[in-house]
Structure 1
Amino acid sequence: MSNETVAERAVTAEAVADETGKSDNRTSARDTLHHIVIVGGGAAGLELATGLGDKLGKRKKADITLIERSRTHLWKPLLHEVAAGSMNVDNHALDYLAQAHWHHFRYRYGEMIGLDRAKREVCLAATHDDEGNEITPARSFRYDTLVMAVGSTANDFGTPGVKQFAIPLDTLAQAERFNRRLVNACIRAHAQAEPVRPGQLHVAIIGAGATGTELAAQLHRTTRQVAAFGLDRIDPDRDFRITLIEGAPRILPALPERISEATAGLLGKLGVDIRAGAKVTEVRKDGVALADGGFIPAELVVWAAGVKGPDFLRDLDGLEVTRSNQLVVAPTLQTTRDPDIFAMGDCASCPREGSTAPVPPRAQAAHQQATHLRKQLRNRLEGKPLKPFVYRDFGSLVSLGKYSTVGNLMGKLVGGNMMIEGYFARMMYVSLYKMHLMALHGSSKVALETVARTIAHRTEPAVKLH
C-alpha cells in the first residue's frame, strides 16, 4: 500500500465501531481522521501514544488510541524492585486514563485476542472484575495504522511445574504477588512453633540475566530489613538463602564477560549461591530439580529465563512470526505481510544493521523504536517515504541495588567500549529511567516528581511490608 493511499484514507468517512463495540453510523470529525491504534502500554507503546497524542492528536491530525489490559503503567526494568519490596509502586505507577487525558489520546481497557486484517479491526476480549462482573464487553476497534507493542512474556520452554509453582516477573501483578508471598513466608516462619525448616525461606531464581541478577541483590537486602522489623525469631544469615540458577556457563551471558565476572564477585560477597551451567528439569512445590540429579530446596521460585512473544501472536491472521512468537518486521518496523501493521519492542523481531542477530529485546531498543516511529508515522500521514530503523547500542547496566551498579558504555564518546561501576554507573542507570519519564511527562514535571519522591522516601519503611 502506498503512502499516498494512507493519506487519502485519512479523509474517508465510514461507519466505525465506537468504544462500546456497537455500530455508530454518524459521521463525526473524529471518524474522518486517520486512526492509529497502539496495542500495548509498556515503555514503547506508551511513549509512542504520548508523543503522537501531543503532535497529532492535539492538532486533530489523527485519532490516537492506546489499548492496554492494565490500568497503570510501571517501567518494566523496575519490576524486580517491586518483587523485592524495595519500591513503593504508588509513587511510580502511572494511570493510563490520566495520561491519555493530558496528552490527547484515548485509552481503552482490554486485552487483544485477535485481528481481522480484511476489516482492519483489532478484537478484544470481554473484561471482568474480581467478582466476575463484566466491565467491558467483547469488542473491536478499527484502525488505519496498527502498532503492536505488546512486549514479551517468560518462556518456560515447556519445563514441568513452572506454571504451577514458579512466578515470572512480566507484569506488575506478578511482581506484587511474589512480594506478598515473600512477606507472608517471613511472618509464617516467625509465628510457627517449630524452627525454620530447610528450604522454607529459600528463594530460587531461574535465569541469571539482568532481571534475575538484579533481583538476587535486592532480595539480599530486603529480606534482612523485613526480619529487622520485629521478626526477631528469624536469623537472616542462617535462615535466608538465595540461589541464582543459569543454564549458560556464566551469569549475564548476553553481556561482556568482565561485567559477568564483576557481578558474580559482588553477589558472591553477599552470599548468593550461583549455579551456572545448571539446567532445570522440573519446578516442584518444595524446590527445583536439576538435570545432573541435584535438587535445590526453595519455598519461593522465580522464573526469569528466556522471553517470547505472547501466545496470541502465533496465529494473528497470517502475520509472520518467529519460533519465539515475535512478529517479523522489515527495517521500517512494518510487518512483512502487512505494511499497515507495525511492531516494536520485545514483541518484534527486527533486523539489525551489520549483524545476523535481530535487535535485542532491551529497554533502550524499545525507547529508540518508539522515538523512530513517532517521527515516521507523522511522515507516513504526509505521504513521505519511511526511513529504516537503526539500532544504536549504548551499552548495558546492571543495578545491584544499594550495593553497586556495573556495566559498560559503548559509542564514539567513550572510544568504543568502557566498563563502569559504582556511583557513576548508578547515575547512568537512573538516567535511563529518567529518559523514559521525560518522554512521558517532560523535564519540568519529572524534576518536581523527583523532589517529591525523595521527600516521601524519607518518611516510609525501606521495604514494603504488606
Structure 2
Amino acid sequence: MKTQIVIVGGGAGGLELVRRLGAKLGRDAYDVILIERNRTHIWKPLLHEVAAGSLDANLDEVGYRSHGHRWGYRFFLGSLEAIDREARQVVVAPILDEDGTEVIGRHRIRYDYLILCLGAVSNDFGTPGVREHCLFLDNREQADRFRQKLLNHCLRVSRTMTTDSGADAYVNVTIVGGGATGVELAAELFNAASALKHYGLEVFDESRLRVTLVEAGPRILSALPEDLAEAAHKELEALGVRVLVNTAITEATSTGMGTRTGEVIGADLKVWAAGVRAPDVLKDIADLETTRSSQLVVRPTLQTTRDDRIFAIGDCCYCKPDNSDRPVPPRAQAAHQMARTAYRNVLSLIADRPLEAFVYRDRGSLVSLSRYSTIGSLMGNLVGGRMAVEGRIARIVYLSLYRMHLIGVHGWLKGIALILVGHVNRVVRPRLKFH
C-alpha cells in the first residue's frame, strides 16, 4: 500500500508544498493528494486587483487538475468536514450542484501524513449586520462579485449623468480595515475608475467615486513604520480617499455603516477587510489544540501539538518560533517559508530523521497604492532593523514577490515563461476586465 500524504488547501503555501512533494516523491511508492474546495488557484494578495477589474484572474489562475498532472499529485475537489485521527482519515463534505443536487456524497480519504493549509477568512468580530450587508475579499468568487457590483453602480451613475445633465451622482464605497488589503483596494479603485471613460462610460471618471477607509486603530498600516504609514495616509487623501482612524464600526446596514461616534457612513458598496481568523471548520477539530480564533496550535516543527502526523502551515496555524516572543504573522511570505520547512520535515519524518524547527525570516512589508505609489520596509530582522523604501525600487520589489510565487508554484522554467507572458498581456490586453 502506498504512503498517502494529504494536503488540505491549495493556497500560497499549500500549492507550493504539494508541488514540491509531488515532484520529489512521484507516483510509485507515494500518493500525494490535494483537497481543495476551488477548481483553480489565484494568489490572494492579488484579489484586490481582481475586485477592481485591474487584473483578469482567468489569465493568472492555476488549474489544480492540470497542475497536478504536471507535478505528480492527485487533486480532489471538496471541502474538509472532519478528521478521524484514530482511522487516519479526512472526511470530505458532499459536493452539491447549483440547485442543491448532490454530485458527490460525503466520503473519506486515508492519510499517513496530513498537512492543513486552509488559510484564513475575514473576521467580522460579531459586528451586527456585517455578514448580511458587507462584501469580503477572501477568495476569487467574492472578488468577482464585488467587481460586478462595482460595475453595475458605475453604469448606474454614468446613465444618470447622461440622461440628467444637472445630476450629481456618485458611487460610494466604504472599506473597513486599514491593513494592506483595505489600503490597496482603495487606491486600486481610483485607478480603475480613471480608466472607465476609455471603455464606454464617457461621463464617468474618478471624480464620480467616493471612497471611505475606516480603521479602528490609531493609524492605517500598523505593520509598517509610522512614517511610511503616514506617507500612505497622505497619498490616499491626495487621491480623494476619506481616511478615518480611531473609528470603530458598530453596525452594518443595507445603506451604510454605523460608527461608535454615532456617525452613519452611507455606502453603495461595503467591504469588510478588518482582521482575519481561521475557518470555522477548524474550531475544536479532532480534539486538536486551537486558539480562540480557531487557529491550530503547532510546535516549532509545524506539527500540531497533539498529533505528530498532522502539520499545519500558513494563516490557519498559530506558530511561535523558539527565537520569537510573538506568533508568525498571517502573511503570504510566512506561508511560503512554512511550506518549505513542512516539505523538509515530512520527508524527514518518513525517513525517521530529526525534524527542523521553523524559523521565520521577516522580509519586510510592501503595500502597493496601484500605479500611484508603492511603499514599505525591507529586510526586517535580517539586518536587525528595517530599511524604508518608496517609489520605483519599492514597486520593483513588490512585483518580484508575485514572480517568486509563480516560480514557487510552477518551477523555474514555466515560472519565468509566465512572467514574460504577463509583460506581453499588459501591453496587448485591455486595462480593465468588464465581464
| TM tier relative to shorter chain | over 0.9
Which amino acid in structure 1 is aligned with residue 158 of structure 2? H
* Whole-Å separation in 2 of the counterparts to 1:170 and 1:198: 33
* Whole-Å separation in 2 of the counterparts to 1:395 and 1:201: 35
After superposing the two structures, state which structure 1 stretch, 307-316 or 187-196, moved more.
187-196
Where does residue 231 of structure 2 map in the other structure? Answer: 262
Deviation at 1:450, TM superposition (A): 2.0
Give the TM-score, by structure 1 length: 0.90
Unaligned runs of 5+ in 2: none
Aligned pair partner of 1:388 in 357, 360, 365: 357
Q: Runs of 4 or more off by more than 6 Å in structure 1? A: 195-199
Aligned pair partner of 2:268 in 285, 299, 320: 299
Deviation at 1:229, TM superposition (A): 2.4
Deviation at 1:261, TM superposition (A): 1.1
Aligned pair partner of 1:451 in 387, 411, 420: 420
Deviation at 1:404, TM superposition (A): 1.3
Deviation at 1:459, TM superposition (A): 2.4
Which amino acid in structure 2 is aligned with residue 431 of structure 1? S
Q: For 1:149-177, what per-residue CA distance to the aligned partner results, in whole angstroms no more than 9, with x for missing partners?
A: 00000000011111111111100100110
* Whole-Å separation in 1 of the counterparts to 2:34 and 2:15: 8
* Whole-Å separation in 2 of the counterparts to 1:353 and 1:258: 30
* Whole-Å separation in 2 of the counterparts to 1:334 and 1:413: 25
Would you say the 8 A contact 1:227–1:236 is kept in 2?
A: no
Would you say the 8 A contact 1:200–1:299 is kept in 2?
A: no
Deviation at 1:34, TM superposition (A): 1.5
Where does residue 115 of structure 1 map in the other structure? Answer: 83
CA distance 1:303–1:197, shift in 2 (3 Å): farther
Aligned pair partner of 1:376 in 320, 332, 345: 345
Aligned pair partner of 2:64 in 75, 96, 104: 96
Q: Does 1:232 align with 2:210?
A: no
Q: Does 1:153 align with 2:121?
A: yes
Deviation at 1:253, TM superposition (A): 1.3
Number of matched residues? Answer: 433
Which amino acid in structure 1 is aligned with residue 185 of structure 2? L
Deviation at 1:95, TM superposition (A): 0.2
Where does residue 186 of structure 2 map in the other structure? Answer: 216
Where does residue 188 of structure 1 map in the other structure? Answer: 156
After superposing the two structures, state which structure 1 stretch, 446-455 or 295-304, moved more.
446-455
Q: For 1:298-322, what per-residue CA distance to the aligned partner results, in whole angstroms no more than 9, with x for missing partners?
A: 1001100010000011121111110
Where does residue 138 of structure 2 map in the other structure? Answer: 170
CA distance 1:362–1:235, shift in 2 (3 Å): closer
* Whole-Å separation in 2 of the counterparts to 1:195 and 1:440: 52
Q: Percent identity?
A: 46
Deviation at 1:131, TM superposition (A): 3.3
Q: Does 1:333 align with 2:302?
A: yes
CA distance 1:63–1:213, shift in 2 (3 Å): same
CA distance 1:181–1:123, shift in 2 (3 Å): same
Would you say the 8 A contact 2:22–2:72 is kept in 1?
A: yes
Q: How does 1:324-363 map to 2 (within 5 A)?
A: 324-363=293-332
Three-state SS of the structure 1 residue aligned to 2:425 is: helix
Where does residue 425 of structure 1 map in the other structure? Answer: 394
CA distance 1:137–1:432, shift in 2 (3 Å): same
CA distance 1:233–1:343, shift in 2 (3 Å): same
Q: For 1:134-155, what per-residue CA distance to the aligned partner results, in whole angstroms no more than 9, with x for missing partners?
A: 3322111011111010000000
Would you say the 8 A contact 1:73–1:93 is kept in 2?
A: yes
* Whole-Å separation in 1 of the counterparts to 2:51 and 2:396: 22
